[in-house]
């Protein structure tokens, strides 16, 4: 009797492509805005880029329901400022947490916040910020705790580690999300981190993920890559291009990928992060 296989999959691929390029004092993150399933288009206007902190942007392709859950979880990590509709909830949750802490006393807080036995650093567990007052959801308070404890926003390398941990936490039922994280490091230089679905990450000078990645990466390698990793290791490969040249390069990448990849198209959203803040640009792509 042959083994019966499940013919329902919890995953779906919504397509799309993401690219990030690090510069000397800026970082460019771009993604197309098409969301599709099978041969159909679900929407032409879906943003795959989210702001995790004031110096970190994440672009993700793959299964957008998982991406959205991941974004929500990481968004709950920074308590003030950007986050759109989450702001109020975060504040309310924050208030509730403070009340809870006052009610149950400090020892409860320590019990909630330390992991048993292994003594490793606090690992974030994915939980909706609405139930942040619930004892089990100590982790979603973590980033608020980070801001409260450190009195500053999480830096990009710190966020990179957090994202990796979050992804690995679901090692045996992964988030079907292929991420690139871009931002400025503590010195103000551009940094890009590229991930696989379960959290393995590396700091690089540029990266592409998603359905059009196989079309874009060879072109970026040709234009940006150092001739040999011996001459210049990947993580130092910050491009010498100016900001406008990098944006031009990204536009060319996407227009070319759109020609040959059916899942990429409609519109291109480019987010540019530099010392002045975050700026967004849009460009039309082929809609067929």
Partner 1 sequence: MSKVAVDIPPKGGFSFDLCRRNEMLTKKGAQSPSFLKTGTTIVGLIFQDGVILGADTRATEGPIVADKNCEKIHYMAPNIYCCGAGTAADTEAVTDMVSSQLQLHRYHTGRESRVVTALTMLKSHLFNYQGHVQAALVLGGVDVTGPHLHTVSYLLTDISCSVFSQKVLTVVVKWISQIYPHGSTDTLPFATMGSGSLAAMAIFESKYHEGLSRDEGIKLVAEAICSGIFNDLGSGSNVDICVITKGHKDYLRNHMLPNPRTYVSSQGYTFPKKTEVLLTKITPLREMVEVTEGGDAMEE
The residues of the shown chain that bind partner 1, judged by CB under 8 A, are 36, 39-41, 211, 222-223, 227-228, 230-231, 245, 248, 251-252, 255, 258-263, 283-288
Tokens (6 digits) for 120 = 């490793």
239 alpha-carbon distance from chain centroid = 21
* Nearer CB in complex with partner 1: 45/259: 259
CB of 38 to partner 1, least distance (A): 8
Q: What angle (nearest 5°) sits at the alpha carbon of residue 169, between those of residues 131 and 132?
A: 10
* Nearer CB in complex with partner 1: 202/245: 245
CB of 227 to partner 1, least distance (A): 4
Alpha-carbon distance of 63 to 191, in angstroms, equals 25
Distance set, CA 47 to CA 33, 167, 181 (Å) = 5, 21, 15
237 alpha-carbon distance from chain centroid = 21
* Nearer CB in complex with partner 1: 138/254: 254
Q: Is 259 helix (H, G, I), strand (E, B) or coil?
A: helix
Phi, psi of 99 (to 5 degrees): -65, -45
Tokens (6 digits) for 35 = 């969301």
* Nearer CB in complex with partner 1: 236/259: 259
CB of 81 to partner 1, least distance (A): 33
137 alpha-carbon distance from chain centroid = 21
Tokens (6 digits) for 135 = 């004892």
CB of 254 to partner 1, least distance (A): 8
CB of 115 to partner 1, least distance (A): 39
* Nearer CB in complex with partner 1: 7/149: 7
């Amino acid at each position: 009797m042959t083994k019966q296989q499940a013919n329902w999959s919890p995953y779906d691929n919504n397509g799309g492509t993401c690219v990030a390029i690090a510069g000397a004092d800026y970082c460019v993150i771009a993604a197309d805005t098409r969301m599709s399933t099978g041969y159909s288009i679900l929407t032409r206007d879906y943003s795959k880029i989210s702001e995790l902190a004031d110096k970190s942007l994440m672009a993700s392709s793959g299964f957008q329901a998982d991406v959205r859950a991941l974004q929500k979880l990481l968004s709950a990590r920074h308590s003030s400022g950007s986050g759109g509709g989450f702001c109020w909830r975060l504040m309310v949750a924050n208030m509730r947490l403070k009340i809870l802490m006052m009610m149950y006393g400090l020892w409860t807080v320590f019990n909630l916040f330390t992991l048993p036995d292994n003594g490793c650093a606090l690992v974030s567990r994915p939980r909706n910020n609405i139930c942040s007052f619930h004892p089990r959801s100590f982790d979603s308070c973590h980033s608020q705790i980070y801001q409260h404890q450190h009195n500053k926003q999480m830096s990009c390398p710190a966020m990179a580690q957090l994202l990796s941990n979050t992804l690995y936490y679901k090692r045996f039922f992964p988030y079907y999300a292929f991420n690139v994280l871009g931002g400025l490091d503590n010195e103000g230089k551009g940094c890009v981190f590229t991930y696989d679905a379960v959290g393995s990450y590396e700091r690089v000078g540029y990266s592409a993920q998603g359905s059009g990645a196989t079309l874009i990466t060879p072109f970026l390698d040709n234009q940006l890559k150092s001739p040999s990793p011996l001459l210049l290791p990947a993580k130092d490969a910050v491009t010498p291009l100016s900001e406008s040249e990098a944006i031009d390069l990204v536009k060319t990448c996407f227009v070319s990928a759109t020609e040959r990849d059916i899942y990429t198209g409609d519109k291109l959203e480019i987010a540019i992060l530099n010392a002045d803040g975050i700026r967004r640009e849009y460009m039309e792509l082929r809609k067929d």
